[in-house]
Amino acid sequence: MTLPGAPYLSRRDGQLTLEDVALDALAHEFGTPLYVYSQAAMLGALAGYQRALAGRPHLVCYAMKANSNLAVLQTFARAGCGFDIVSGGELQRVIAAGGDVAKVVFSGVGKTRAEMKQALEAGVRCFNVESEPELEALSAVATAMGRIAPVSLRVNPDVDAGTHPYISTGLKGNKFGVAHQRAVEVYRHAASLPGLAVRGIDCHIGSQLTEVAPFLDALDRVLDLVEAIEAAGIPIHHMDLGGGLGITYTDETPPAADALLGALLARIDARGHGHRELVFEPGRSLVGNAGVLLTEVLYLKPGETKNFCIVDAAMNDLMRPAMYEAWMGIVPCAERSGGDVKTWDVVGPVCESGDWLGRDRALAVQPGDTLAIVSAGAYGMSMASNYNTRGRAAEVIVQGARARLVRERETAAQQFAGERLLED
């Protein structure tokens, strides 16, 4: 198979390497399961956005739900990024990583009043508001604090992103955003509320998009609204066009970031909106192909209808296959010369039939081998859990020939440190 993430992920002398580090060696040094990320791959992906937006007023806000490790956030903060957050906890991570809070946009359908207060005190750039009740709650919180909350409304353009239904967010049946046909009315309401200042408009139609057409369809509907809202006397200072650009897991061919943005910018200019500040919120496209999950083969269990390759990583470490039936590439870290290739279902130790990482994979493996699950940098560790009281994996960032531990492996004692026994 062609390895996604090239040139950062490659095979040299039979060894799978990320940048200049052999992954099998990292598995032996730090143990497994182990997430490993290439810093160069992350910055290389970001460069596509930065090239396309050069010379325009813009802000790239990394959608940190994809991967919220502090060292990953630090990498993007140092590169000039802002952050798209969806919780007060994510705001605390931005601050801990040295990010600029003035470059933070706060998204999400269910912000609590406590989170609103926290974000106002911190001085976030903008709230992406998704409903009228949320507008009213934010107005009340801001007024009580004597603050003005900058807001954008997330509009739902009713555009089919053509992706998995769980990660499609722009259809009228989704929970996200304000209905397109009611947007002008809701903007009037927002402009009338004390404690709020309308700053922009926001749109995000889904994740793992691989075609340009849905982005352009959504953009046209957003531009229609901008013109209608300003005709109603409400200025729009920025357009937040969200994220959602997909990556290659198997045979997908998403456009490069600069090609996608080039098409969007051409449409924006053609409609006379080239002067506006633009905000983008990429997540998966910045980190997805930058990461791998390493796992050790524990047992091989041939069967009548299925052969099972049992590994030490599980659905609690990588939820995407169980949750979305997602296909993730699985390759040996060290090639076996003349090995016996068989078809295996790669499964974990968790007590669920849904605990699988890959089905029907042709592999030449033996117990003790290290496998790499590739394109695992997004929605891997950030969705990990402690199901079956399993500690979350360690994480490493590679910088050239240097590997740095950026999260220690979680222990059982750390998991239940906040629990209390009953007192008789």
Question: What H or E segment, with its residue span, contains residue 372?
Answer: strand 370-374
**Which residues make up each annotated binding site?**
244, 281-284, 320, 324, 352, 379
**Which residues make up each annotated binding site for pyridoxal 5'-phosphate?**
244, 281-284, 379
CA dist 414 to 9, 225, 374, 418, Å? 33, 50, 28, 8
Cα dihedral 372→374→379→384 (10° resolution): -10
DSSP 60-88: EEEEGGG---HHHHHHHHHTT-EEEESSH
Question: What is the CB neighbour count within 10 angstroms for residue 363?
Answer: 22
Quick one: residue 268, left, alpha or beta (phi over 0 = left, psi -120 to 50 = alpha)?
alpha
Antiparallel, parallel or unpaired: β 196-202 and 238-240: parallel
**Which residues make up each annotated binding site for substrate?**
284, 320, 324, 352, 379
Pull the structure tokens for residue 322: 């169980």
Pull the structure tokens for residue 382: 């950030």
User: Cβ distance 4 to 247 under 8 Å?
Assistant: yes
Decide: residue 398, CB within 10 A, 0-12 exposed, 13-18 middle, 19+ buried.
buried
Given the residues 203, 309, 333, 351, select the one marked as catalytic: 351
Decide: residue 125, CB within 10 A, 0-12 exposed, 13-18 middle, 19+ buried.
buried
Residue 351 is among the residues annotated as catalytic for this protein: yes
Contacts of 87 (CB under 8 A, 6+ apart): 108, 115
> Can you tell me the distance from the alpha carbon of 344 to that of 361, in angstroms, rounded to the nearest whole number?
5
Q: Which residues of 312-351 are buried (b: 16+ CB within 10 A; e: fewer)?
A: bbbbbbbbbbbeeebebbbbbbbeeeeeeeeebbbbbbbe
User: Cβ distance 291 to 35 under 8 Å?
Assistant: yes
> Can you tell me the distance from the alpha carbon of 382 to that of 391, in angstroms, rounded to the nearest whole number?
14
Q: Work out whether the CA dihedral 94, 97, 102, 103 comes out positive or negative.
A: negative
User: Cβ distance 191 to 229 under 8 Å?
Assistant: no
List residues with catalytic annotation. Answer: 351
